[in-house]
Structure 1
Amino acid sequence: MKVCLVGSSGGHLTHLYMLKPFWENKERFWVTFDKEDARSLLEGEKMYPCYFPTNRNIKNLIRNTFVALKVLKKEKPDVIISSGAAVAVPFFYLGKLFGAKLIYIEVFDRIDKSTMTGKIVYPIVDKFIVQWDEQKKVYPKAVNLGSIF
């Protein structure tokens, strides 16, 4: 199984990194911002940089769509996992076309309303994971697996 872990640097990347017991024995690659925290955390990992800022930035959404197309064609992941933010959107929509399974983890600090990325990818994901029961009111098809922390 080949895993693509895609997310913004900072807290989103930290969420994904905390899934290490799941991904550490799998073939994997990362897509995130080329920033110091990401380079430090992912030292020795296969990483593809993407463009930022992403939130409400149409230019970088288009640029990241081309990054997603290139990376997904080359790597052909079986599953794509993200905890946000907006960089996940092109990877999820194109990944769906390529036949990848999609897993989205809604962020820990949104308890009673959706994130923009969560709202955009919710209709197409194979598994939508929340960390609070209250989030199931926003995402009825979600699965609560509890806190990642």
Structure 2
Amino acid sequence: MKKVLMVASSGGHMEELTRLKKVISKYDCCWVTEFNDFQTYGENYDVNYYVMQVNRKEFFFPIKFLILFVRAWYIILREKPDCVISTGALISYPFCRIAKWMGKKVIFIESFARVNELSLTGRLLYNHVNRFIVQWPELSREYDKAVVGGGIF
């Protein structure tokens, strides 16, 4: 059975990822999200890895982002996924880039909240993934490589 690394920030991004029932039922999924005070996904999904939250406006952002890259490298080497699927946000960038560098398939699903423009993570990953899925047709008009997947919710 193929292994899929499911990566998303906590909150709405993780909620969207947990809605991919067909993927979850068909593949061996390994879950990665941020550690915070509001853990709810561990009850419904066996979250395998928690990583620290990274906020690009924090003073220590460069150091935390570098640590996140190292952690992502470790997790990918340990889990050996065939594919990485992410709905964002910032924590997904290192996982998607490293997986792509290692020849893995990478699928990025832009947030449901993004109707007219890509998120920062979406803009950064747009040219570096195998499949870029948007949930709104309006967004696909601006980005020719984007595939409309419809709403997750």
Instruction: Specify the alignment match of 1:9 in structure 2.
Output: 10
Please, which moves more after superposition, 73-82 or 134-143? 134-143
CA separation of 1:55/1:15 partners in 2, compared to 1, >3 Å: closer, same or farther? farther
For 2:84 and 2:150, how far apart are their aligned partners in 1? 20
User: Which amino acid counterpart does residue 109 of structure 2 have in structure 1?
Assistant: I
Please state whether the residue corresponding to 2:88 is helix, strand or coil.
coil
Please state whether the residue corresponding to 1:48 is helix, strand or coil.
strand
Instruction: Specify the alignment match of 2:22 in structure 1.
Output: 21
Moved beyond 4 Å, runs of 4+: none
Instruction: Specify the alignment match of 2:135 in structure 1.
Output: 131
Please state whether the residue corresponding to 2:127 is helix, strand or coil.
coil
Q: Note if 1:45 corresponds to 2:46.
A: yes
For 1:141 and 1:102, how far apart are their aligned partners in 2? 14
Assess if the C-alpha contact under 8 Å between 1:51 and 1:63 holds in 2: no
CA separation of 1:138/1:19 partners in 2, compared to 1, >3 Å: closer, same or farther? same
Q: Note if 1:81 corresponds to 2:82.
A: no
| Structure 1 residues 106-129: Cα deviation after superposition (integer angstroms, max 9, x where no partner) | 011111111100001110111100
- Please tell me the root mean square deviation across aligned C-alpha atoms, in Å: 1.5
Using the aligned pairs only, state the percent identity: 35
Assess if the C-alpha contact under 8 Å between 2:84 and 2:99 holds in 1: yes
For 1:37 and 1:79, how far apart are their aligned partners in 2? 27
One of 122, 138, 146 as aligned partner of 1:142: 146
For 2:55 and 2:77, how far apart are their aligned partners in 1? 22
**Superposition deviation, residue 141 in structure 1:** 0.7
For 1:116 and 1:137, how far apart are their aligned partners in 2? 18
Q: What TM-score do the two structures reach when normalised by structure 2?
A: 0.90
The count of aligned residue pairs is: 148
**Superposition deviation, residue 5 in structure 1:** 0.5
User: Which amino acid counterpart does residue 119 of structure 2 have in structure 1?
Assistant: T
Q: What TM-score do the two structures reach when normalised by structure 1?
A: 0.92
Q: Note if 1:97 corresponds to 2:101.
A: yes
**Superposition deviation, residue 142 in structure 1:** 0.7
Q: Note if 1:72 corresponds to 2:73.
A: no
Q: Which runs of 5+ in 2 are unaligned?
A: none
